[in-house]
Amino acid sequence: MRAARAVTIIPPTVSAFSPLQVGGIAKKRVAAYARVSTDNEEQLSSYEAQVDYHTRYIQENENWEFVLVYTDEGISATSTKKRDGFKRMIADALVGKIDLIITKSVSRFARNTVDTLTTVRQLKEKGVEVYFQKENIFTLDSKGELLITIMSSLAQEESRSISENVTWGQRKRFADGKVSLPYKQFLGYEKGNDGLPKIVESEAATVRLIYRLFLEGKTPSGIANHLTQNGIPTPSGKQKWQVSTVESILTNEKYRGDALLQKTFTVDFLTKQKKVNEGEIPKYYVENSHPAIIEPDVYDMVQFEMKRRKENAGHHSGANCFSSKIVCGECGSFFGSKVWHSTSKYRRTIWQCNHKFKGPQKCGTPHVYEDTLKQLFLNSMNQLISNKDELIENCKMIKRVLTDTASLDVRTEDLHHELTLVTELIRKCVDENSRLGLDQLEYQQRYNGLVKRYEKAKDGIKKNEDHREAHRIKREQLDTFLDTVLQQDSILTEFDEKLWFAVIDKVTVYATDNIQVTFRDGTVVKS
Tens digits of residue pLDDT in 70-98: 988 765 544 455 678 888 999 999 999 99
Task: Of 150, 147, 145, 146, give the one whose Cα is nearest residue 122.
Answer: 145
Q: With a cut of 70, which residues of the chain have pLDDT below it?
A: 1-25, 37-46, 74-82, 110-114, 142-145, 147-180, 262-284, 312-319, 359
Exposure string of 300-334, with b = 16+ CB inside 10 Å and e = fewer, is bbbebbbeebeeeeeebbbebbbbbbbbbbbbebb
Whole-angstrom CA distances from 321 to 196, 214, 348, 434, 495 are: 39, 12, 16, 65, 11
What are the residue boundaries of the structural domains of the chain, listed by start? 19-162, 192-311, 326-526
Statement: 192-311 belongs to CATH 3.30.70.270: no
pLDDT of residue 35: 79
Whole-angstrom CA distances from 504 to 34, 130, 332, 510 are: 66, 75, 17, 18
Task: Of 262, 278, 70, give the one whose Cα is nearest residue 177.
Answer: 262
> CA angle 114-57-158, nearest 5°?
30
pLDDT of residue 18: 39
Taking the C-alpha atoms of residue 298 and residue 477, their distance in angstroms, rounded to an integer, is 9
How many C-alpha atoms does 484 have within 13 Å on its Cβ side?
19
Taking the C-alpha atoms of residue 268 and residue 201, their distance in angstroms, rounded to an integer, is 39
pLDDT of residue 89: 92
For the beta sheet containing 514-519, the strands, ordered from the edge strand earlier in sequence to the opposite edge, are 326-328, 504-511, 514-519, 524-526
SS3 275: strand
pLDDT of residue 191: 85
Q: What CATH number belongs to 326-526?
A: 1.10.287
Task: Of 53, 56, 51, give the one whose Cα is nearest residue 70.
Answer: 51
Task: Of 248, 171, 233, give the one whose Cα is nearest residue 203.
Answer: 233
Report yes or no on whether pTM surpasses 0.75: no
pLDDT of residue 481: 78
What type of residue sits at position 327?
A: V
Bin 431: left if φ > 0, else alpha if -120 < ψ < 50, else beta.
alpha
Domains 192-311 and 326-526 share a fold: no
Statement: 19-162 belongs to CATH 3.40.50.10470: no
Q: Are strands 504-511 and 514-519 parallel, antiparallel or unpaired?
A: antiparallel
Task: Of 475, 461, 333, give the one whose Cα is nearest residue 408.
Answer: 461
